[in-house]
Amino acid sequence: MAGAAGPGTGPGAAGGDGDDSLYPIAVLIDELRNEDVQLRLNSIKKLSTIALALGVERTRTELLPFLTDTIYDEDEVLLALAEQLGNFTGLVGGPDFAHCLLPPLESLATVEETVVRDKAVESLRQISQEHTPIALEAHFVPLVKRLASGDWFTSRTSACGLFSVCYPRASNAVKAEIRQHFRSLCSDDTPMVRRAAASKLGEFAKVLELDSVKSEIVPLFTNLASDEQDSVRLLAVEACVSIAQLLSQEDLEALVMPTLRQAAEDKSWRVRYMVADKFSELQKAVGPKITLNDLIPAFQNLLKDCEAEVRAAAAHKVKELCENLPPEGRETIIMNQILPFIKELVSDTNQHVKSALASVIMGLSTILGKENTIEHLLPLFLAQLKDECPEVRLNIISNLDCVNEVIGIRQLSQSLLPAIVELAEDAKWRVRLAIIEYMPLLAGQLGVQFFDEKLNSLCMAWLVDHVYAIREAATNNLMKLVKKFGTEWAQNTIVPKVLVMASDPNYLHRMTTLFCINALSEACGQEITTKQMLPIVLKMAGDQVANVRFNVAKSLQKIGPILDTDALQEEVKPVLQKLGQDEDVDVKYFAQEALSAVAQRLRKLDSPAKDGEEPSAPGADKNHFLRPGGPGEDTGKAHRERAARVVSEEAVEAARFRGTDAAKGPAYQLHVNTRDTLAQLEIAELVHFSQSRD
């Protein structure tokens, strides 16, 4: 192999030699032995670099023995090592040398810590594929056998995960041995090992010959399924899925079903829970006939189990179970054998059961069709919409789309509205958050008119919620609504209300205006942004709360791309320059960020028309950034003065408006341009209260 590589890689090899002498293994090993765990960990994570520096041969002869010998370290380091070694085949010289990696991984597979062991097993499985069949029998299989007969339970546990990867490629004699080892682990003394064996039973069964499955795996399965420890029995249920797939209906009935029936009625709820949890898989594995004869009755029992955990797990599977029934006769089976039990669950005493059911029950409507849905399911939906537990209601609402397809949402809207309103005002903010997320969907299904009448006020109320996450979600919600209903709708219903909040006494609400503008500006387009939103943002630059001011800067940066040159040059820039002089460092920082973004954009837009402005504007910018006290300051001041003038002009204008508007127009019109504090206060109160009264 060295000969083959030689001619093509002369210079590289020479370089490698030189490097080797540069990095004696001692130095590298020193790094791996460093006292500081973090440094050791870092070194291990770059183990491939070290191996690369050493070259394949020294990696094999020096690095790997060192690693094998010094496996007594923090589990975190060992975990990293186990992971690294899985991808090391190339670094030790390719598949021919893959077996060199086995000794360190074998040690790692025996340590106590489960995550390390699991990772070592994972790496071993990976490497096993790189072994040639001969190497596999010469090196890998012996390792598996050693682990399987190890003293301490950890090595035997690890062995369980390795049988299935070496079995298919082994010779017949070796296969028999492997099976023998697996058998003995299944009846190991230690429950930990039996659990490991049980969890790999299905995987192992899949690689076995059918005869061996019947003669060996099935008895093992039966034993594990009647283990004294429920933690073992429940794992056998999982294996049942894989085993069932391998057997014919007859064999299934004779060999597996007695055990499965017994598991479904196990005295431990954990085992019954597992049966419920794996129900769909089991159903598919045993086929329709056994499902009808055995599984449906078992399922009925699980649905009325004495433990809520089991009922909830079964309730989760209702829809899948029904979907997977054979189409002919499905409706009858559901109506006669499933639905009566579901009806009981709707008024279960445990909320988890109800909410599990609520998360799938709507899916039945597509299976049962319009008439059955209206007659049998609708009453259940309506009952669940009135359930005392918010999660149940929420789950119903979040699956409305299924029903919508079958019977249309109108059937439900009468009951829907109170449920939505109640959830919208639920004391738990997570519930409120969840319902907000369904608003765009609901809006789409209920239509703009219904929305404006019943739901709009809710959406606005969320903007002044006391939890930030809700306000944030409400903001995004508005954006999605605007996308759905269009800009005209936005201009008439949303924007005015949002802008009014700019003068709310609560600074958090004022910030919400900014966040809304950030979210809405793009959906609303240049016209609305420039004419209605920008003035408000600019006005807020004078806010007394620094958080508001720096959010103004952020907003200006955000909406900058939507504005045209004039607005940027004439209005945005001066304000930002003023904010750039703010006494608060954060405001300054964000203003400068925004300024440079704006300046960049201006430069791009203005390249033809920059003549007049050019010397002053960008120049001023630069000065401003680099030397805040320098000549730039003059410009800054000038701008500031101009801004002040604009402000006072607007105030006058606003004052003029006030008298007339209060009487005639809607409050928001007046509000758009207001600068007057007093007016602002009055209106803030007005709007604030009228909203909350809604």
Partner 1 sequence: MSSSSPPVGAASAAISASEKVDGFTRKSVRKAQRQKRSQGSSQFRSQGSQAELHPLPQLKDATSNEQQELFCQKLQQCCILFDFMDSVSDLKSKEIKRATLNELVEYVSTNRGVIVESAYSDIVKMISANIFRTLPPSDNPDFDPEEDEPTLEASWPHIQLVYEFFLRFLESPDFQPSIAKRYIDQKFVQQLLELFDSEDPRERDFLKTVLHRIYGKFLGLRAFIRKQINNIFLRFIYETEHFNGVAELLEILGSIINGFALPLKAEHKQFLMKVLIPMHTAKGLALFHAQLAYCVVQFLEKDTTLTEPVIRGLLKFWPKTCSQKEVMFLGEIEEILDVIEPTQFKKIEEPLFKQISKCVSSSHFQVAERALYFWNNEYILSLIEENIDKILPIMFGSLYKISKEHWNPTIVALVYNVLKTLMEMNGKLFDDLTGSYKAERQREKKKELEREELWKKLEELKLKKALEKQNSAYNMHSILSNTSDE
**Region 24-63 residues binding partner 1, contact defined as CB under 8 A:** 27, 31, 35, 39, 46, 49-53, 55-57
Which of 79/524 has CB closer to partner 1?
Answer: 79
In angstroms, give the least distance from the CB of 314 to partner 1: 14
Beta-carbon neighbour count of residue 677 at 10 Å? 10
Rounded Cα distance between 254 and 241, Å, is 16
CB 243 within 8 A of CB 217: yes
- State which of residues 99, 311, 316, 510 lies at the interface with partner 1 (CB under 8 A): 510
Contact between 668 and partner 1 per CB under 8 A: no
* Angle at CA of residue 312, ends 308 and 318, nearest 5°: 145
Q: Which residues contact 402 (CB under 8 A, 6 or more apart)?
A: 362, 363, 365, 366
Residues 393-432 that bind partner 1 (CB under 8 A): 427-429, 432
505 binds partner 1 per the rule CB under 8 A: yes
Burial class (CB in 10 A: 0-12, 13-18, 19+), 373: buried
Question: Which of 503, 521, 592, 673 touches partner 1 by CB under 8 A?
Answer: 503
How far is 598 from 591, CA to CA, in rounded Å?
10
| 583 is an interface residue for partner 1 by CB under 8 A | no
| Interface positions, 143-172, toward partner 1 (CB under 8 A) | 152-153
Q: Which of 287, 542, 618, 619 binds partner 1 (CB under 8 A)?
A: 542
Residue by residue, DSSP assigns 403-415 as: HHHHH-THHHHHH
Count interface residues toward partner 1 (CB under 8 A).
82
Tell me which stretch binds partner 1 (CB under 8 A): 261-269, 314-322, 331-339, 630-638. 261-269
What's the CA dihedral at 386, 390, 391, 392 to 10 degrees?
A: -10
> In angstroms, how far is CA 461 from the centroid of its own chain?
28
| Residue 69 backbone dihedrals phi, psi, to 5 degrees | -75, -30
Smallest gap from residue 542 Cβ to partner 1 (A): 5
User: In the complex, what is the shortest distance from the CB of residue 652 to partner 1, in angstroms, rounded to a whole number?
Assistant: 15
Please give the structure tokens belonging to residue 637.
Answer: 């001041």
Q: How far is CA 503 from CA 205, 335, 476, 508, 525, in A?
A: 71, 59, 21, 11, 23
Burial class (CB in 10 A: 0-12, 13-18, 19+), 533: buried
Q: Which of residues 331-350 bind partner 1 (CB under 8 A)?
A: none
Closer to partner 1 by Cβ: residue 190 or 222: 190
In the complex, minimum distance from the CB of residue 405 to partner 1, in angstroms, rounded to a whole number: 35
Binding to partner 1, residues 173-212 (CB under 8 A): 190-192, 195
Closest separation between CB of residue 506 and partner 1, Å? 7
Among 26, 211, 267, 583, binds partner 1 (CB under 8 A): 267
347-386 residues near partner 1, rule: CB under 8 A: none
Q: Compute the least distance from the CB of residue 587 to partner 1, in Å.
A: 14
Exactly one of 391, 465, 582, 621 binds partner 1 (CB under 8 A); which one?
465
Instruction: Please report the DSSP string for 143-185 in residue order.
Output: HHHHHHT-SSHHHHHHHHTTHHHHGGGS-HHHHHHHHHHHHHH
Applying CB under 8 A, the span of 200-208, 323-331, 460-468, 582-590 interacting with partner 1 comes to 460-468
Among 211, 228, 328, 488, binds partner 1 (CB under 8 A): 228
> Taking Cα atoms as reference points, which of 397, 405, 396, 407 lies closest to residue 374?
407
Chain positions 58 to 97 lying near partner 1, rule: CB under 8 A, are: 74, 90-91, 93-94
Which window, 255-263, 300-308, 478-486, 615-623, contacts partner 1 (CB under 8 A)? 300-308
Residue 437 near partner 1 by CB under 8 A: no
Stretch touching partner 1 by CB under 8 A, among 109-117, 166-174, 478-486, 619-627: 109-117
- Confirm or reject binding of residue 114 to partner 1 (CB under 8 A): yes
Question: Measured between alpha carbons, how far is residue 19 from residues 12, 14, 55 in Å?
Answer: 10, 9, 9
CA distances (Å), 429 to each of 224, 432, 513, in order? Answer: 46, 5, 21
Residue 306 in contact with partner 1, rule: CB under 8 A? yes
Asked if 5 is part of the footprint of partner 1 (rule: CB under 8 A), the reply reads yes
Considering the rule CB under 8 A, would residue 116 count as an interface residue with partner 1?
Answer: no
Smaller CB distance to partner 1: residue 268 or 324? 268
Residue 40 neighbours by CB under 8 Å, 6+ apart: 31, 32, 33, 34, 73, 74, 77
Q: Among 41, 82, 224, 308, indicate the residue that binds partner 1 (CB under 8 A).
A: 308
Interface with partner 1 includes 231 (CB under 8 A)?
Answer: yes
* 472 three-class SS: helix
Position 685 contacts partner 1 (CB under 8 A): yes
- Among 172, 327, 466, 583, the residue binding partner 1 under the rule CB under 8 A is 466
* Rounded Cα gap, residues 212 and 285, in angstroms: 19
The angle subtended at Cα 343 by Cα 341 and Cα 346, nearest 5°, is: 115
Kindly state whether residue 299 participates in binding partner 1, applying the rule CB under 8 A.
no
